């Protein structure tokens, strides 16, 4: 392997429902699986769904915890959006455009998996917004944040 990939382990409450959502719904490649975990490929990165007996706490909003992909083209973003709709995946937040007309403008949507994990898929209008645009202090939506 000549490049670095990201690894994320996350809790799930049902492996069959998780496999249905990620493999059949999102199109992830299924790697190893056991009676307590699934290894999945999402956008070239490794996800490990770990079975937990305790319920995963359902968030009221998109914060503080979610994960997903930043797509490098609008067509790739639209493909995942269309696939999620075609497979009846649960949208936590429907597709929309954030920060229109600003250098941090992007299209985004949020999905909720069967264990209440939130996934975000976005595409930035300007690639420099991914790690740059330091003159914009906005990260996320302040009105969405809830105090613990």
Domains and CATH numbers, the chain: 7-144 (3.10.180.10)
All residues at 6 or more sequence positions from 43 whose CB lies less than 8 Å from its CB, including other chains: 69
Token representation of residue 43? 């956008």
63 pLDDT band, cuts 50/70/90, is confident
What are the pLDDT digits (tens) for 70-90? 999 999 999 999 999 999 999
pLDDT reported for residue 54: 77
Taking the complete model, does pTM exceed 0.85, yes or no? yes
Question: What distance in Å separates the CA atoms of residue 10 and residue 40, rounded to the nearest whole number?
Answer: 11
């Amino acid at each position: 392997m000549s490049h670095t990939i990201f690894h994320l382990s996350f809790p799930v409450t049902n492996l069959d429902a998780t496999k249905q959502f990620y493999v059949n719904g999102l199109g992830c490649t299924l790697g190893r699986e056991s009676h307590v975990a699934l290894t999945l490929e999402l956008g070239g990165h490794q996800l490990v769904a770990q079975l937990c007996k305790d319920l995963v706490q359902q968030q009221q909003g998109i914060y503080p915890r979610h994960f997903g992909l930043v797509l490098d083209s609008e067509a790739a973003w639209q493909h995942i959006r269309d696939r999620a709709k075609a497979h009846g995946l649960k949208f936590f937040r429907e597709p929309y455009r954030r920060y229109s007309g600003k250098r941090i403008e992007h299209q985004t949507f949020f999905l909720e998996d069967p264990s209440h994990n939130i996934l975000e898929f976005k595409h930035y209008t300007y690639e420099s917004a991914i790690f740059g645009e330091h003159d914009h202090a906005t990260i996320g939506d302040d009105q969405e944040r809830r105090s613990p």
